[in-house]
């Protein structure tokens, strides 16, 4: 454990005084991201919990410039900021688009897709708490199958699977995509640093526990983050150039039940429902492993072509 | 006739200040203005009849004539968001759109103004669908009235070029974005001789953008975070203050432009043969040119008809309208736009401006030329005849409707 903590930069580029709920994964995510990125960073925040967490105008908990922008414009505003800086020869500043799942998977998806296709030189981090929390826990396309939200009440919980955004972005062939978790700060920070070192579009998907939205205990946020990874519900991996898959943490075989049963939003699920989810998760894990294998094959193929 | 022609030619061709005269469309006029204004970031999305602005800018950027970053976004909404981002870093930015594209931008138009970012947008006034129409109609930009943008309406391609350059001077001083409007096809796709001023003179008139506030890692701030009821209203008060400042500044900038470049199109509005006028037409955009002709005809007949061309819509030239209205008997406003359930939009504004004035001339509102329908001299004559015969003001008179 001490070995892991050793890799985390000491600087606190997110100050104190944020106004998030206790146990907020989104807040811890920002703290880690800014540790990795340093002060030569500008943040774009669309409508989401973070529009509040940062503090009322004109204050900010972050020690770097923050531009609050419209809900669906994180990627487009960030593209503009990057271009504005570039036009002034300030190309070394990192532009970070920081959005929730709603602003990323749903309303901001078009702008994100556009920025990805243009291969904008920005880092886009989506902290995914799997619902619209700012407006009071409504479903998003990132809400998992079976979850309760205020618009998917327990009697009719979400009946569609979570959108696989990472795959959608992989289809854009961007240089770097990663998943990250606040329970694995070393992995988290390494990925953000790697993203910073790469030119072009980078996307990092962070699962962010939200005690009020998940009906979970604030002190369980790290535990839930860890269980999501170890149960393979949220595996830690990265994708380079849309095809080179690499799993960055080999999960243990924790049943999904352990993760689901700690959250009130899944309280209505029967054991049968949970078995169904387990099957789905196992299948997705196999698919991911296959993609890793396939990218190893791909690698060989590319080497052969290069040698011809 | 000769005298008039010479005067007009002089207006376009001032050899001392002109680099080159090009015979170009309004869209290209806008593109060259962007070059002359030394814009740093462009982001736009194509829509007929704005496309040739985008295409020309692509060409000028590609061949290095415009050393700007050009973000080719996937929508107008993103175009506006991108220039908002760019401008927030202190880079002079430009976008262009029309009709549906402007409507799509609506949310972020508010954002640009409320964030006090002096972006310049060239809008080609085109009708909104359905039914689909690509032709001239000013409802698109007038529907953005309350977004906090300064708005200008142009009569010629030369005015488009001159106003885009002036827009940066005005917007950057008062920290508000500026929309420069031109009628679809009548300007956007009609070639006219346009004098491109010498770059060094434009540089004197328009120094590099130095924002008071910007996104800067050396001086980090958060922009646009939550403001409660105890502080929000002050932000709005400041925007109104900026609009009032723009009202004072626009005439000054027009004079300055005249000083450096030698061309003047008027201040908030332009008066044409209003001296001693009993009757007055008020227009905006290209209907003005046709109206000038008809005014000349009536003046020749000894009827004292005058014309006011509205140039600025926001800030509105309230005081000028009151001053001019003082001495006229009847005013006819011609609108190529409509606010359903009310009347032509310029008409409403003029009526509102006159309510708190001491004089109340008869006021008629004429809606004409929607969706690019030609407004020919005979339409204007019909309007003038109707106006002269009117005994009571009428809010909405349709011109040339086949129903
Ligand atoms: C155009 C628009 N529609 C709706 C909203 C209202 N709104 C603000 S934040 C939000 C949900 C944000 O969800 P997410 O992106 O997941 O972030 P979270 O609140 O969960 O952190 C919504 C619907 C808005 N601000 N703008
Ligand atoms: S509602 Fe959830 S995401 Fe929002 S601040 Fe609270 S814990 Fe964080
Ligand atoms: Mg969310």
**Strand pairing category for B41-43 and B178-183:** unpaired
* Any ligand 2 atom below 6 A from CB of A213: yes
Contact B220/A76, CB-based, under 8 Å?
no
Q: Do domains B11-261 and B270-398 have the same CATH topology?
A: yes
In a domain? residue A12:
no
In a domain, A9, yes or no: no
- Residue A10 covered by a domain: no
- CA distance linking residue A276 with residue A308, whole number of Å: 48
Can you list the alpha helix ranges (DSSP code H) found in A44-203?
A: 49-53, 74-87, 109-117, 165-170, 185-197
Contact B220 A60 (CB under 8 A): yes
CATH code, domain carrying A299: 3.40.50.970
pLDDT exceeds cutoff 70 at B6 = no
Identify the architecture of domain B270-398 in CATH.
Answer: 3-Layer(aba) Sandwich (3.40)
Preceding omega of B315 cis (within 30 degrees of 0): yes
Q: How many CB pairs under 8 A join A and B?
A: 166
Structural domain spans, chain B? 11-261, 270-398
A28 lines ligand 2 (CB under 6 A): no
Range of the domain at A84: 25-307
Is residue A16 in a domain? no
A6 is a domain residue: no
For residue A94, give how far its alpha carbon lies from the nearest alpha carbon of chain B (Å): 10
Non-local (6+) Cβ contacts of A255 within 8 A are A231, A278
Contact A131 CB / ligand 2 (< 6 Å) = no
The total number of residues shown for chain B amounts to: 403
Q: Tell me, yes or no, whether A7 lies in a domain.
A: no
Enter the CATH code of domain B11-261.
3.40.50.970
DSSP per-residue letters across B317-384: -HHHHHHHHTT-SEEEEEES---TTS--HHHHHHHHHHHTSS---EEEEEE--GGG----HHHHHHHH
Q: What is the pLDDT of residue B14?
A: 85
Beta pairing class for B269-272 and B222-223? unpaired
Q: pLDDT tens digits for B77-133? A: 999 999 999 999 999 999 999 999 999 999 999 999 999 999 999 999 999 999 999
Number of domains in chain A: 1
pLDDT tens, B242-257?
A: 999 999 999 999 999 9
Residues of B in contact with A85 (CB under 8 A): 89, 91
Tell which one of A135, A163, A205 to mutate to probe ligand 1, the residue whose CB is within 8 A of the most ligand atoms.
Answer: A135
| Residue B13 pLDDT level (bands cut at 50, 70, 90) | confident
pTM above 0.95, yes or no: yes
The CA angle A39-A40-A46, to the nearest 5 degrees, is 85
Mean pLDDT by groups of 10 residues along chain A of 308 residues = 67 95 98 98 98 96 98 98 98 98 98 98 98 98 98 96 98 98 97 98 98 98 98 98 97 97 98 98 98 94 90
For a mutational test of ligand 2's pocket, the pick from A48, A129, A143, A150, i.e. the residue with the most ligand atoms closer than 8 A to its C-beta, is A129
């Amino acid at each position: 454990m001490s070995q892991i903590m050793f890799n985390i930069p000491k600087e606190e580029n997110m100050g104190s005084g944020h106004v998030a709920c206790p146990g907020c994964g989104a807040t811890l995510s920002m703290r880690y991201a800014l540790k990795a990125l340093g002060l030569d960073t500008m943040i774009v925040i669309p409508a989401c919990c973070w529009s509040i967490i940062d503090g009322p105008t004109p204050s900010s908990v972050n020690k770097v410039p923050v531009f609050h922008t419209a809900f669906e414009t994180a990627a487009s505003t960030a593209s503009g900021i990057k271009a504005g800086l570039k036009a002034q020869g300030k190309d070394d500043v990192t532009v970070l688009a920081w959005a929730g799942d709603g602003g990323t998977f749903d309303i901001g998806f078009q702008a994100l897709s556009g920025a990805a296709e243009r291969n904008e030189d920005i880092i886009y981090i989506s902290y995914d708490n799997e619902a619209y929390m700012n407006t009071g826990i409504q479903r998003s396309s990132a809400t998992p199958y079976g979850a309760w939200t205020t618009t998917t009440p327990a009697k009719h919980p979400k009946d569609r699977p979570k959108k696989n955004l990472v795959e959608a972005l992989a289809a854009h062939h961007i240089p770097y995509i990663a998943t990250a978790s606040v329970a694995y700060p070393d992995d988290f920070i390494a990925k953000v640093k790697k993203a910073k070192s790469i030119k072009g579009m980078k996307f990092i998907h962070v699962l962010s526990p939200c005690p009020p939205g998940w009906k979970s205990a604030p002190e369980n946020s790290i535990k839930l983050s860890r269980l999501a990874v170890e149960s393979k519900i949220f595996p830690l991996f990265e994708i380079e150039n849309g095809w080179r898959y690499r799993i960055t943490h080999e999960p243990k075989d924790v049943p999904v039940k352990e993760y689901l049963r700690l959250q009130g939003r899944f309280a209505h699920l029967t054991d049968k429902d949970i078995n169904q989810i387990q099957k789905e998760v196992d299948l997705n894990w196999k698919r991911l492993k296959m993609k890793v294998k396939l990218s190893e094959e791909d690698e060989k193929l590319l080497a052969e072509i290069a040698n011809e | 006739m000769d005298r008039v022609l010479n005067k007009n030619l002089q207006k376009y061709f001032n050899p001392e200040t002109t680099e080159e005269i090009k015979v170009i469309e309004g869209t290209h006029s806008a593109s060259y203005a962007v070059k002359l204004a030394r814009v740093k970031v462009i982001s736009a999305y194509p829509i007929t009849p704005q496309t040739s602005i985008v295409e020309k800018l692509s060409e000028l950027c590609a061949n290095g004539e415009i050393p700007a970053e050009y973000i080719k976004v996937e929508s107008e909404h993103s175009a506006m968001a991108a220039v908002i981002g760019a401008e927030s870093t202190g880079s002079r930015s430009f976008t262009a759109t029309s009709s549906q594209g402007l409507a799509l931008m609506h949310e972020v138009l508010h954002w640009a103004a409320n964030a006090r970012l002096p972006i310049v947008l060239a809008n080609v006034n085109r009708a909104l669908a359905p039914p689909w129409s690509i032709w001239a109609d000013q409802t698109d930009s007038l529907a953005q009235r309350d977004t906090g943008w300064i708005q200008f309406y142009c009569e010629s391609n030369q005015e488009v070029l001159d106003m885009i350059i002036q827009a940066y001077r005005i917007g950057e001083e008062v920290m508000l974005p500026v929309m420069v409007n031109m009628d679809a096809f009548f300007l956007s796709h009609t070639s006219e001789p346009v004098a491109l001023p010498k770059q060094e003179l434009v540089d004197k008139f328009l120094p590099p953008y130095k924002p008071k506030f910007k996104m800067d890692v050396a001086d980090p701030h958060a922009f646009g975070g939550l403001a409660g009821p105890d502080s929000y209203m002050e932000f709005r008060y400041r925007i109104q203050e900026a609009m009032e400042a723009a009202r004072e500044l626009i005439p000054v900038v027009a004079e300055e432009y005249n000083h450096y470049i030698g061309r003047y199109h008027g201040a908030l509005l332009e008066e044409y043969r209003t001296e001693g006028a009993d009757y007055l037409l008020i227009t905006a955009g290209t209907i003005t040119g046709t109206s000038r002709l008809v005014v000349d005809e009536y003046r020749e007949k000894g009827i004292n008809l005058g014309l006011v061309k509205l140039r600025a819509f926001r800030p509105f030239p309230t005081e000028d309208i009151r001053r001019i209205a003082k001495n006229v008997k009847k005013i006819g406003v011609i609108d190529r736009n409509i606010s359903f359930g009310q009347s032509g939009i310029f008409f409403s504004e003029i009526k509102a401006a006159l309510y708190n004035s001491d004089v109340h001339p008869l006021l008629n509102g004429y809606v004409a030329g929607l969706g690019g329908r030609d407004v020919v001299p005979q339409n204007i004559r019909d309007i003038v005849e109707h106006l002269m015969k009117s005994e009571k003001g009428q809010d909405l008179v349709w011109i040339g409707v086949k129903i």
